[in-house]
């Protein structure tokens, strides 16, 4: 989730549009009206989270990541996000995730009903035991880099009473390994492989 210059919640993993649209423009430096001029190959524009909520409502579940940028220096993104979730009554359909404990703490103070997931970067995944000491009790899910996914790492997370997840399981070998170490869930860049593995 990226906050636009005019404080709109834009559904995008990247702030810069180069990778997804071939345009060197940052969402955080642009008003949504400017961004709406760009189109994907299927003709769709960048979506606002509000539009996605209105279309799908509680028919699906959402994992929403807050990302820091200068526009969001006063927790504007978190405030807007919690207000939007509550407006659509989707507290039971959302998991909030972030690399930032500060962001998660702020949202927890605004709404204690929504489950939370902390993503650990490479450095913290490598020093997992040390990182876990600083995780607040209200965060129920820990996600580590697949580069540091081991049975020991999964056990360390499970021993804290939390679910263990990982990111970038993109090959069949990685997916098989994730199953072996009893990971609770994962993120992938290859949904087809994950679907094939499930079936």
Whether pTM exceeds 0.85:
yes
Give the C-alpha separation, 127 to 131, whole Å.
6
Give the C-alpha separation, 139 to 163, whole Å.
10
Residue 68, pLDDT > 80, answer no
User: CB–CB of 187/175 below 8 Å?
Assistant: no
Residue 196, pLDDT > 80, answer no
> pLDDT tens digits for 109-133?
999 999 999 999 999 999 999 999 9
- For every residue of 127-157, DSSP letters joined together read THHHHHHT--TT--EEEEEGGG--HHHHHHH
List phi, psi (to 5°) of 141. Answer: -130, 135
Residue 17, pLDDT > 90, answer yes
* Domain at 1-97: CATH code: 3.20.20.190
| CA–CA distances in Å: residue 17 to residues 30, 109, 141, 167 | 11, 32, 29, 22
Q: In what order do the strands lie in the sheet with 163-167?
A: 62-65, 94-98, 116-119, 141-145, 163-167, 185-187
* Element of type H or E holding 165: strand 163-167
Rounded to the nearest integer, the mean pLDDT of the chain is 92
Instruction: Select from 29, 28, 33, 97 the least CA-distant residue to 61.
Output: 97
Instruction: Select from 52, 2, 6 the least CA-distant residue to 27.
Output: 2
User: What is the pLDDT, as a whole number, of residue 172?
Assistant: 84
Domain with CATH 3.20.20.190 in the chain: 1-97
Residue 96, pLDDT > 90, answer yes
Instruction: Select from 71, 123, 72, 134 the least CA-distant residue to 101.
Output: 134
In DSSP terms, 64 is beta-bridged to: 96
Per the listing, tokens 């810069």 go with 16
Of the listed ranges 41-50, 83-92, 160-169, 190-199, the least confidently predicted one is 190-199
């Amino acid at each position: 989730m990226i906050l636009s210059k005019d404080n709109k919640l834009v559904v995008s993993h990247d702030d810069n549009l180069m990778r997804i649209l071939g345009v060197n423009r940052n969402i955080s430096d642009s008003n949504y009206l400017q961004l709406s001029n760009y189109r994907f190959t299927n003709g769709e524009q960048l979506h606002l989270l509000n539009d996605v909520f209105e279309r799908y409502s509680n028919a699906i579940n959402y994992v929403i990541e807050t990302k820091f940028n200068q526009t969001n220096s006063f927790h504007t993104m978190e405030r807007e996000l919690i207000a939007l979730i509550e407006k659509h009554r989707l507290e039971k359909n959302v998991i909030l995730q972030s690399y930032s404990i500060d962001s998660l703490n702020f949202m927890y103070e605004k709404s204690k009903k929504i489950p939370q997931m902390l993503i650990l970067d490479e450095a913290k995944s490598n020093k997992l035991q040390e990182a876990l000491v600083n995780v607040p009790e209200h965060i129920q899910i820990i996600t580590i880099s697949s580069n540091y996914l081991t049975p020991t790492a999964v056990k360390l997370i499970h021993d804290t009473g939390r679910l263990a997840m990982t990111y970038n399981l993109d090959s069949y070998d990685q997916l098989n390994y994730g199953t072996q170490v009893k990971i609770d869930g994962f993120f992938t860049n290859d949904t087809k492989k994950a679907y094939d593995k499930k079936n």
